[in-house]
Amino acid sequence: MSLTVVAHTGVEHEVEAALNDALPDVDLREVRVVGAHGDEMLCVVIDHADGVTHDLCANVTHVLDRAGLRDRFGIEVSSPGPEPPLRTHEHYVQAVGARVAVRLATAPGTKAKRASGILRSVHEDGIVLETADGERTIGFGEIGRGRVIERSEG
């Protein structure tokens, strides 16, 4: 099991547990809840070594339904696309050399701060980005969300 970089939400724990039990080869990339209370959508981004197919998305949806999540949310499952989310330490390690963007965790009601640059290294407590202003170290506790925005060549 890999270390999760950003703070887990309760529903993220539920999704992770359901997938670990039923489909352990599925790489959970992102969990978001969007929409108004009572009309919320659970958006889950997954990846898999063999690629993400419609059948795999349907299987994940079925697993989340069996876990009782469809009772509270609509469920949308998708592939990571060309700009995959970064959720775990391993995701960041895999992205070393790529251009990434991170949204920094801020207090509720404050404007989100962002940082982007080439991901130069990943250590136990955070990442090092090469930005236009020089190298910047960002602790995992400071990161709200991360995403690859451009893969490295080669």
pLDDT, one tens digit per residue, over 82-138 is 999 999 999 999 999 999 999 998 777 788 899 999 999 999 999 999 999 999 999
Q: Which of 114, 149, 117 is closest to 130 using CA atoms? A: 117
Query: What pTM was estimated for this model as a whole?
Result: 0.83
φ, ψ dihedrals at 18, nearest 5°: -60, -45
Per residue in 69-79, pLDDT (tens digit) is: 999 999 999 99
Per residue in 6-35, pLDDT (tens digit) is: 444 789 999 999 999 999 999 999 999 998
Regarding beta strands 41-47 and 74-78, do their DSSP bridges make them parallel or antiparallel, or are they unpaired?
parallel
Are 11 and 150 spatial neighbours (Cβ–Cβ below 8 Å)? no
